Every structure is written in structure tokens, then in C-alpha cells.
Amino acid sequence: METSDAITAFETALETGDLDAIRRVPKSDLHNHFFLGGNRALVSEWAGRDIAPLDHKLSCMAEMHEWVQTRFGTLFAGAQGRLKAFEATLVQAKLDGITRLEKCETPWAIDLHNGAATALTDACRGVHARVAPDVEWIPQLDLATLHGMRRSAVAVPVAHVSRRRHQQRAESDRAPTTFIEAAKAVADQVPPDLLKQGLFYPLQANILETEIQTTARVAKLVFDSGLAPVEKPADMVRIVRGHVYKPEYHRPARPAPKAV
């Protein structure tokens, strides 16, 4: 399907509410097809009961966690449970016409594979090859603290920055240091003219570059602290920039209508 035809078909499907037509259009996705965002029918089959969709607005994160626990319980607990969640994610992505999927995992999941990032990645690759080999899957590892709190919205590939959890425990006092480094990196990107205006954060219009520079600073600290079991890249910014999700959409010019 040509790009212009795909755009037209997608827009028409959205306007008419035609879900099947939406699914027929090739798409890329970041985070919508995610952990606990898998195929409902498959998950219900595993659970032995219907997993009813959310039917009301949640007021807080605690309420969301309670809802998830009530619906799923321990279904996705442990290494095999998380791999099941990934399988359900791929099944739904394939059904929805996703041709490129960027899905990240949290560093603490490495614990479920004896502290080996390669074991986690290889297990996920096995599921991907079995369930949806035609969907391009971009493996990622998000930047999180020891307790799973997100430090940055930018996710980096597992192959480039991976942590062994036993090292994290041994170096747990450095977790706040990485958070502080991220804060300093953001602050350093606020130019003097904005500071004079009373602004403490970079402009939203430049958020992608801000996150790239911040991620590179945190990654450098991780490498310099000896927490990364791979060789330190010579150009950290280039590595990060080459793997971040780029929200750039290029709309091709539509051909002029033919004269009647």
C-alpha cells in the first residue's frame, strides 16, 4: 500500500469508525500495545475467566493498581508470566495491523532471569519469533530507579545500557545520584534568557533534544560508575539519538484532482 493511499484509508477509517479498515492499514506503535495491553480473548483464556474492560474513569494510580490486581492477580507474575504478557501484546499488535512495535521492559525484570540482561532479551526474542516474526519489534529498556520509578521518558535499547540487579543492590546508594544527574542535565539545558524570565525547565518545543541530552548524561554516569557490563560508547549522544523514538510524520503531497 502506497503511503498516500494508506494515509487516506486511515483517515477515512477513523472518520467512519471502521475498526477493520483501521487494522488493515500498516502502522507503527509506541506503548499502546504494551504490558497488560495484550489480546483480551487470549488473556481471558489463560485466566479461565472473562477480563472485563475498564468501564469507568479512574481517579488515581492506587485505584488503577487495585483494578489491575483484581482483574489479573498473579497471572503475569514471574519470568514466565511477563513473557505471557509480551505474547498477548504481540498477538494484539499483529491483529491491529502493527508492523513496527517499540516496547520496553523495566530493569528490575532482569532479576527474573538471574540478573542477566541477555537472558531477558533472548527470552523475549524467542516469543517474538514464535508469535509475530513479521512484526518488527524494537527491544528497549527504560531508565528506572531500583523501585521502578521512571527517570526519563526516553527508552534506550537493552543491548546498549543494561544493569545487573545484584550490582544495583551493591551500589544502591548510587540510585539517587543518577536521579540528581538527570535533574542537573535538565537544568543545564535552560539558557540564561529563559532563567531571567523565571523559567526552570527547557521549552516543551525542544523536549526531544532535552531528553536525548539528559539520557546521555545519565548513561555516561552509569558507565563511569561501572554499572554497565558492556563497553562504553565513544559518542553517547549519538548512540541515544540513533535509537530514540522520533515523532516525525511526513505527509506526502496528494496529487491534484484530475480535470473532468
What was the pLDDT predicted at 254? 61
How would you write the pLDDT of the chain (260 residues) with one tens digit per residue?
A: 677 888 888 889 989 999 999 999 888 887 676 777 889 999 999 888 888 888 888 888 888 888 888 888 888 888 999 999 999 999 999 999 999 898 877 777 878 888 777 888 899 999 999 999 999 988 776 655 433 333 443 434 433 333 344 444 444 444 447 778 888 898 899 988 888 887 778 888 888 899 899 999 999 988 888 878 888 999 999 999 988 877 666 666 666 666 65
Asked, for residue 181, whether it belongs to a domain, the answer is yes
Among 138, 157, 184, where does a domain finish? 138
Does residue 37 sit in the same domain as residue 132? yes
Ordered DSSP codes for 148-211: --B--S--B-TTTS---HHHHHHTGGGHHHHHHHHHHHHHHTS-HHHHHTT--S--GGGHHHHH
Contact in structure between 136 and 101 (CB atoms under 8 Å): yes
99 plus 176 within the same structural domain: no
Structural domain total, the chain:
2
148 and 236 housed in the same domain: yes
Same structural domain, 175 and 119 = no
* 7 assigned to some structural domain: no
**pLDDT score recorded for residue 96:** 92
Task: Report if residue 21 sits inside a domain.
Answer: no
241: containing domain? 142-245
Q: Which of 138, 168, 186 is the last residue in one of the domains?
A: 138
Does 8 map to a domain?
no
250: left (phi over 0), alpha (psi -120 to 50) or beta: beta
Q: What is the pLDDT of residue 250?
A: 60
- Sheet containing strand 136-141, edge to edge, reads 27-30, 98-105, 136-141
Assess whether 173 and 189 both reside in one domain: yes
